């Protein structure tokens, strides 16, 4: 698919999070107007429970506006005044993404297809696996494949190689596309806010092997999948996206497995897209997603 035509003016995304107080929206809007920028889309939310305010603004820089570095420098005093956590992103940038997978390749295949047709604005820089099963899929997309096998005895060394690869490739996001190994607490902390995992939504009801078969045996009426940020708390990181599907009484266990693959692909692809487009804001143990 040929790349989309660039917009007539450079576009940027401003993201910010801070304690909620009057004047934030006015300060942001006035700053952009005073610097020759035009707002295209804006979303905001003030959480009464946490007292946090979050905002995402997509804007275009007109001819008279400064470039991104001086624009960011000029915004810094506003960020300091409101004690913001903020960032100014080039909307045309394609974040560098490292994808991890084990043997099941449905999520990896789905992500790469969406990347190929331009539905995911990312640059896959490496595919890492503890098995060799997906190296041909990686090769078909001309993406470097790294086989990093792991056992309980070699886990520390394997993760050291993995972290070195993440740094060497300057990966901005790590996606666990059915990577069936638990990351160490240390690596989870290093990847805080920039690693996304996918799992079936039966946890903790159906732990262990063959969760879909367990669900079938219990006669569930809904199955689902959850995409979340990786944290040291296994499968309990802040949720970004979820997807569900109805189970028909005529479906067998294998039908549930197939349906589960579909919802896993959907939930993960959406979560990755939201992250790439800077739509996800951490809010305590939760996220706010400006869809």
Stretch (H or E) spanning 222 = strand 222-229
What pLDDT score was predicted for residue 123? 98
**Residue 229 CB contacts under 8 Å (≥ 6 apart), including other chains:** 192, 193, 195, 196, 197, 237, 238, 240, 282, 287
Q: Please give the CATH number for the structural domain made up of 11-90.
A: 3.30.70.260
**Residue 91 CB contacts under 8 Å (≥ 6 apart), including other chains:** 10, 11, 12, 13, 58
pLDDT averaged over the chain?
A: 93
Give me the active site residues, please: 235
What pLDDT score was predicted for residue 1? 47
Average pLDDT over residues 30-49: 96
Q: Which ranges in the chain are annotated with CATH 3.30.70.260?
A: 11-90
Percent of the chain at pLDDT above 70?
96
Measure the CA–CA gap between 4 and 94, rounded to whole angstroms.
13
Measure the CA–CA gap between 18 and 288, rounded to whole angstroms.
13
Question: CA angle, corner 223, sides to 246 and 270, nearest 5?
Answer: 95
What pLDDT score was predicted for residue 3? 54
Say how many C-beta atoms besides its own lie within 10 A of residue 76's C-beta: 12
Domain 96-289 has CATH 3.40.50.170: yes
Q: Which ranges in the chain are annotated with CATH 3.40.50.170?
A: 96-289
Percent of the chain at pLDDT above 90?
82
Q: What is the DSSP letter of 279?
A: -
Q: Residue 62 CA to chain centroid, in angstroms?
A: 30
Please, which pLDDT band fits residue 5 given cuts at 50, 70 and 90?
A: low
Measure the CA–CA gap between 265 and 228, rounded to whole angstroms.
13
Tell me the whole-structure pTM to 2 decimals.
0.93
Q: What is the DSSP letter of 284?
A: T
What pLDDT score was predicted for residue 193? 95
Flag whether pLDDT at 136 surpasses 90. yes
CB 83 within 8 A of CB 112: no
* pLDDT, tens only, 48-89: 999 999 999 999 988 776 788 899 999 999 999 999 999 999
* pLDDT, tens only, 94-120: 999 999 999 999 999 999 999 999 999
The angle, 0 to 180 degrees and rounded to 10, between the axes of the packed helices 68-81 and 24-34 is 150
Structure tokens at 135: 């190296």
What pLDDT score was predicted for residue 4? 63
DSSP annotation string for 76-105:
HHHHHHTT-EEEEEETT---EEEEEE-S--
What pLDDT score was predicted for residue 107? 98
Average pLDDT over residues 30-57: 96
Structure tokens at 77: 């005093």
């Amino acid at each position: 698919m040929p790349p989309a035509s660039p917009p007539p003016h450079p576009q940027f995304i401003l993201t910010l999070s801070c304690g909620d107080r009057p004047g934030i929206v006015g300060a942001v809007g006035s700053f952009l107007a005073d610097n020759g920028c035009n707002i295209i889309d804006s979303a905001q939310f003030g959480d009464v429970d946490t007292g946090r305010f979050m905002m995402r603004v997509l804007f275009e820089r007109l001819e008279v506006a400064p470039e991104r570095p001086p624009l960011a420098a000029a915004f810094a005093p506003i960020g300091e005044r409101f004690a913001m956590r903020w960032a100014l992103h080039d909307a045309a940038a394609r974040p560098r993404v490292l994808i991890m997978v084990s043997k099941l390749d449905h999520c990896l295949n789905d992500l790469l297809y969406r990347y190929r047709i331009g539905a995911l604005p990312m640059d896959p820089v490496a595919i890492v696996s503890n098995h060799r099963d997906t190296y041909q899929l990686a090769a078909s997309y001309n993406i470097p494949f790294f086989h990093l096998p792991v056992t309980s005895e070699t886990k520390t060394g394997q993760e050291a190689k993995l972290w070195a690869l993440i740094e060497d490739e300057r990966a901005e996001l790590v996606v666990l596309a059915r990577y069936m190994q638990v990351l160490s607490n240390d690596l989870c902390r290093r990847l805080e806010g920039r690693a996304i995992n996918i799992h079936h939504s039966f946890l903790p009801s159906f732990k262990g092997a063959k969760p879909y078969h367990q669900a079938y045996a219990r006669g569930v009426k809904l199955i689902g999948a959850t995409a979340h940020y990786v944290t040291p708390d296994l499968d309990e990181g802040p949720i970004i996206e979820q997807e569900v599907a109805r189970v028909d009484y005529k479906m067998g266990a294998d039908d549930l497995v197939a349906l589960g693959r579909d919802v896993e692909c959907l939930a993960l692809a959406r979560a990755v897209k939201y992250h790439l487009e800077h739509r996800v804001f951490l809010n305590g143990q939760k996220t706010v997603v400006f869809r």
